[in-house]
Structures are given as C-alpha cells and as structure tokens.
Chain A
Amino acid sequence: MRREVFENNYDAIYKYIRYLTNDPELTHDLLQETFYRFYHKNYTEHERTYLLKIARNLVYDHYRRKKIVGFFQLKSDPIATEALPDEVIERNAEIEKLYCALQQIKWSYREVVILRYIEEYSVKETSMILNCSEVKVKNNTARGLKALRVMLGGEKDV
C-alpha cells in the first residue's frame, strides 16, 4: 500500500517541490517529510491532492523558518540559483530560459503555473490544493503567464 502510493505519486511530488524550491537536496528532504506525514495520517482518498497540500505547506514552513517569509506571507521569493534540473528530459535554450523565468516570477503565480500547466490540475483541484478560491486561481494563472511573457521579452505573444 505504502509502496503503491509512493510509486504513483513520487514523480509529481518531486516535480512540484523541485520546481518550487529549485534545490535538489531540499527537494529530497521535503519529499521524504511529505510522504512520512501522509503515511501518518492514513489518507485513503485524494492522495495526490493531500500530498501536494502537505508538500506546499512544508515548502512554506521551510522558507518561513529561513526568514524569507514575512509575518504572515512570503515577502520575497526564493531566487533562482540553478539551471534547468538534470531530471528534465527535453532540453534546449528556450526551455532553459522559460525555467529561469519561472523561477523569477512571483511565488503565488509560480505555484499556480506549476500546478496548472506542469502538474495538469484543473482550476478546482488547484484551488483545493492552494486552499483558495477558483477565481483567485484563474487570476493568478493569467497573471503568472503574463509575467512569464514579460520575463521572456514578450517576443512570442499569445
């Protein structure tokens, strides 16, 4: 049972934490903690949603502890310090540039973009994971894409 949950969700959780934190070592630490907490709670349904929720909370807690966050919310976002992760299969200059831009957009936009376009979640599911309204998810998605476009120089418009 544990192995099954682990196998089914490992890649998704890894990607999510990896793209949010941009730190391979930290990703493994937080990933272990995520599954550990999940097993403790004995969830039986919506496994992926709960795992992502736990992972998100852990990432927030980590940066809160590191004083990167302010009193109640993120004041400054983790800065992109590394290139495209080695695990990404398809690699070219454009993807690297996009990844770099993704690491530099606002935190709230980044997590929505990751969930919507990389993890392939619907607006409703994303709102459940992020514990916010669907309207906010839609707004942040549009703003995130716009921010990415600006970062990339706006040379390729929609």
Chain B
Amino acid sequence: MFEEKHLKTLRNIKVDEEKKQADFDKIIKRGKQKVVDWPIFALIVSIVSITLFLIATSPLDNQMATTTDDSQLIAVYTVNGNGNPKSALQLHVNRVTNEKALDEIWQVYNQLQITDKPDATSKVYASYRFNFSDNTSKLYYQYIVRQKIYYEDASTGQYYKREDGSGIPLIQYDQPTTLHTVAFFSLFVLLIGSFVYVDRQMRDKSDPKRKLPKHSHTGQSVLTLLFLLSLFILLFSIPNIHFMWIVGSSLAVAFINILIENKYGNNNWRKLSFLLFGLLVPTYLYLSFVL
C-alpha cells in the first residue's frame, strides 16, 4: 500500500545527539531536586487556620447592650429596600449590636413622632427590625419623600418621622470584628488550598502525574452546574435568603455527588473534593454578602 510504505520511511529519524544529551541531563537534574512535601505544609496551614478560627469565634466581652431595663434595644437589623431582616445570616442584612451604636439609634428612635401618611408614594428605601430585651421586635419601613424620612410601622401601618425630617443613622460596619474577618478569610484560604491539594491528588494510577477528570459521572457535572445556576438565580430572586439555605443546599449537593461517586468512580480524593466544594461555596458567599 502506498501510505503504509511511505509511513515506514518516517520510522527512520536522526536525532540531534547534543539535544539528546541535554534532555538526559535535565531529567537527571530534575530528579535530584527536592520535592515539596505538601502534606506537611497543608497540616501546618490547617493547624494555624483552626487555631485562628477558634480564637476568632470565642465570645468577646462588651459586644451587647448591658442595660437591664425591660424593652431595652438589643439589636437592630437593617436591609436596603423592602425586606424582613431577622438574622445577620440573611444575605445583605446588617446587624448592629454595639452598645454605643445602639444608644445613638435608641435616642433617635425615641424622637420619632406620629405623623400622617406622606402624600407622595415612594418605594421602601430600607427596612429596619428593632429587637428588644423582652423578646419583642418591631419592623419599620423607611421612605424618603421630598427629602424627608418617614418610617412606617409594618404591623400597624402608622407613620412616624423626626421633627427635622432626618432619619436613623445608618451605623454599619461596627461588626464583625477584625479577628472574625481574619478567621473567615483564613478558612477560605485553607479551603482553597485544600481544594487545590486534593485536585492534585486525583491522579491516574498508571501515571501518577496525570490528572483525573473532576467528575466521574455526567450526573455529577449536571448536578453541580444546576446547583450553581439555581444558586445564581436564587441570589437575584431572593436577595435576603437565609445563609443556612445556601449551606444546606451546598452540602446536600456535595452529599449526592459523593453518593454518585461511591457508585461509579469510588475515588476518595474526588469525594473529598466534593465536600470541600460544598464548603467553599457557602464560605465564599459568607465573605461576599454576610461578613
């Protein structure tokens, strides 16, 4: 055959002996280089991060209002636009528990006077929930009408405003503490590091330097893509979604992926990578929207 005959001529090649020697030297040189021991490095990073996390999450003094009066303001939750802020774990919700800030808000709160419903209608600018020490809470909607700020009591529909038309000071960023932030950023870095490490461990047994695919079954790819897509839609459609829903769904997806992996691939590193991904997504969202 014509092709086969000519293909045989491609068998005979004359390699450059200098380059051949250079190749061999480089291989030997590389073989002598010390390989970084990733497990020890990862262990050190883990211990440091966990220590930081424990320090950061230990209770801190003087963070809560300490007055013993009944109906004392103990926390204020705020969110932009129309919403029902109940917990600091809702995305975009800001919580104020700092004593000094609460005193300032309390003073303004006490200056609110009953007023008529403003003529012009406008959309809700912000929502406030005031939590009191007797376990009661009040939700107010804030409106801005002709440069004056009005508050509507969500339960009674009664409108309030200050005499000069100013509003409750938006005291943000008094929380979290720096340590809290550092702890979560460390956790995030640790998760990223672990994820990369696990990714590198997923190797072909016959060729340890060759990476295996991230998923062993199409179902895992489809599930992960659907989860990310639905999460993206949820973040837009329910802006104040509770963070635990995200954690729960993320871990549920990880769990299902691990079950699929058990059945089809049964690679322990891949299982760990699903778990890490399940933790990484909520951690990233926590850092982006809650912290």
Contact = CB atoms under 8 A, between A and B. Distances in A.
A118 B10 contact: yes
Contacts of A145: 1, 3-4
Contacts of A35: 23-24, 27
Contact of A99 (B10, B204, B209): B10
A41 interface: yes
Interface residues of B, number: 33
B19 A88 contact: no
Given A11-B15, A87-B15, A117 B2 contact: no
Contacts of B8: 117-118
A54 interface: yes
Interface residues of A, number: 49
B2 A120 contact: no
A71 B224 CA distance: 14
A98 B207 contact: no
B9 interface: yes
Nearest to A147: B3
A57 B204 contact: yes
Nearest to B210: A57
B219 interface: no
Given A89-B12, A120-B11, A149 B210 contact: no
Contacts of B209: 33, 37, 40, 54, 58
Contacts of B10: 15, 19, 88, 95, 98-99, 118
B261 to A, nearest CB: 16
A57 B24 CA distance: 20
A80 to B, nearest CB: 14
B31 A117 contact: no
B26 A32 contact: yes
Given A15-B13, A61-B211, A118-B10, A6 B3 contact: no
A36 B13 contact: no
Contacts of A148: 3
A85 interface: yes
B22 to A, nearest CB: 8
A101 to B, nearest CB: 9
Contacts of A58: 209-210
B14 to A, nearest CB: 6
A103 to B, nearest CB: 12
Contact of B12 (A6, A39, A88, A98): A88
A75 interface: no
Contacts of B121: none
Contacts of A72: 213
B12 A32 contact: no
